[in-house]
Chains A and B, each alone.
Chain A
Amino acid sequence: AQTVTQSQPEMSVQEAETVTLSCTYDTSESDYYLFWYKQPPSRQMILVIRQEAYKQQNATENRFSVNFQKAAKSFSLKISDSQLGDAAMYFCAYRSPQENQFYFGTGTSLTVIP
């Protein structure tokens, strides 16, 4: 089984500033997918960004980007120009193609301060 660790239970950021959420994972697989999901108080998990392990280029989606360090098994999420609507729980997830399963971290609660 794979494990995903998010060591920051809570983070805060001033509106318009930049924040980085950390995620590490443990796996013996060489090919896999990594995701960041956002879960606002409405509870719906929303896909923020995905990264394919075989791609060296870091994924970006508008204000969201990742720093993928495959050797270090690290996958952090950077949110630029933070907005009030970014406040939510953020979950890091790993997809194992061999097991065809997703594994989630315990989440980071992000507060955006006006």
Chain B
Amino acid sequence: DTGVSQNPRHKITKRGQNVTFRCDPISEHNRLYWYRQTLGQGPEFLTYFQNEAQLEKSRLLSDRFSAERPKGSFSTLEIQRTEQGDSAMYLCASSLIVHGSTEAFFGQGTRLTVV
């Protein structure tokens, strides 16, 4: 499968615990996005990387959230001290930006439930 891969698919955690999600983008895609989606709503932008550089982070994102893409390939999203409001689907997408734009391809997402 050469699509975007996200792990785990589901995560249940207790409030206050830390969680980490992984995203493996399509090979050679230089841009990687993280989004959050709640039921029936559109994906909400969290952050994106161009290769290993994190170029933008949403102002809605608290300091408890951090993302990395250390070698410009896979990325991790960590949430520290989880809260019930963090329960959502976390989506990763990748695209190849060369001249102009191409579409972003999405993974299946990681569903986080904070209890």
Asked if A and B are interacting partners, one says no
